[in-house]
Amino acid sequence: EKGGWSSFMAKEITENPDAVANTVRGRVVDGLVNVPELSELGDDVLRGINRIILIACGTASYAGMVGSYAIEAWARIPVEVQLSHEFRYRDPVITPETLVVSISQSGETMDTLMAVKFAREAGARTLSICNTQGSTIPRESDAVVYTHAGPEVAVASTKAFVAQITALYLVGLHLGRVRSTLADAELRRLARELQELPAKVTEVLKTGPAVAQLAKWMSDSQAVLFLGRNVGYPIALEGALKLKELAYIHAEGFAAGELKHGPIALIDHGQPVFVVVPSPRGSALIHSKVVSNIQEIRARGARVIVIAELGDASVLPYADEVITIPLADPMFEPILAVIPLQIFAMELADAKGLDVDQPRNLAKSVTVE
Ligand code: F6R
């Protein structure tokens, strides 16, 4: 039940810290990530994988994009993300060394289910990342890593998204250990940081009132743009999707590097643009490129709202609004940066008097192809 909350979505956003904590729980043993469900595939099989294809739809596909950066960096396996309905009908190259990882909150999304069956018949190993025990997709897969976000009632996915990303980090760190692509000290540091994430998510939730105020001011916006780079790119896409589905506002997410290849033409006086700024502690170069992007759009009149890590003063001179997130390993930032965007979309929809739990034309699980 909703308890004292105004909507299921409001309740589920506050459950983000638990979604991360419960998904990690029991999967760090003696300081190292160990996901027993993955071991079921066999360590030899995991060592022999030469390609990973993540398949999903919508928000889950953006979780997959975040995961693709992490798994590739940590396990040194080529990883790509494909939308289930595109993968299924493109005649993909699949071998027994291909691991196809489906990501689905409901476990019933027909597009993803059909893609999993197809992958299995084509000879791939299949792993499901799923939030719903006993649902169809896990039953059709060789192994399943459950996310433990708890039941998600609001149509728009929030805590399940954060749990999906968490599960993908676990997969990346498990593979990094089994394949010896990460040093022991690094495996331990990342596992520890993962366990520290829930407290940081709780910290970000405190931006709620300020973000709600911003959403009220912006409730008559015609279009909102979102920019991100590296692991911030899928978060820009997710911020835009949340705004479309909840507030019925035209919203688009871009890779910040694409700006000059077209989208900058959209920037006009007063155009609101959210920018997810990567940590300067990750790549100083990427950080400085995004700061330049901010200067470019500001010079053309954009209203810039930045999401940046605490203490990143470089963005202050060019930002109209700053939302800060706590310091974390740069790979883990998506989990923190997405929270204000979830709140923003919900609050803006609420300010427009819309039903945030039941947006028009949408169903919680899409069980037709
Ligand atoms: C957006 C949203 C959808 C789902 C997508 C996949 O907020 O909820 O984009 O993420 O329909 O659903 P699952 O994860 O159940 O396969």
Ligand 1 pocket mutation, candidates 82, 101, 105, 108, criterion most atoms within 8 A of CB: 105
How far does residue 180's CA lie from ligand 1's centre (Å)? 34
Q: Going residue by residue through the chain, which has 369 residues, state the pLDDT in tens, using 9 for 90 and above.
A: 788 999 999 999 999 999 999 999 999 999 999 999 999 999 999 999 999 999 999 999 999 999 999 999 999 999 999 999 999 999 999 999 999 999 999 999 999 999 999 999 999 999 999 999 999 999 999 999 999 999 999 999 999 999 999 999 999 999 999 999 999 999 999 999 999 999 999 999 999 999 999 999 999 999 999 999 999 999 999 999 999 999 999 999 999 999 999 999 999 999 999 999 999 999 999 999 999 999 999 999 999 999 999 999 999 999 999 999 999 999 999 999 999 999 999 999 999 999 999 888 888 888 888
**Which among 219, 220, 214, 254 is positioned nearest to 234, based on CA atoms?**
254
**Which among 83, 41, 12 is positioned nearest to 366, based on CA atoms?**
83
Annotated catalytic residue 352: no
Ligand 1 pocket mutation, candidates 7, 13, 54, 57, criterion most atoms within 8 A of CB: 57
Interatomic CA distance for residues 235 and 118, integer angstroms: 29
DSSP letters of 224-270? EEEEE-TTHHHHHHHHHHHHHHHH--EEEEEEGGGGGGTGGGG--TT
How far does residue 87's CA lie from ligand 1's centre (Å)? 17
Using DSSP bridges, classify how beta strands 98-104 and 303-309 pair: parallel, antiparallel or unpaired.
Answer: unpaired
The model carries a pTM of: 0.98
Shortest-distance atom of ligand 1 to CA 132: 15
Ligand 1 neighbours by CB, cut-off 6 Å: 57-60, 104-106, 109, 112, 156-157, 241, 245, 365-366
How far does residue 58's CA lie from ligand 1's centre (Å)? 5
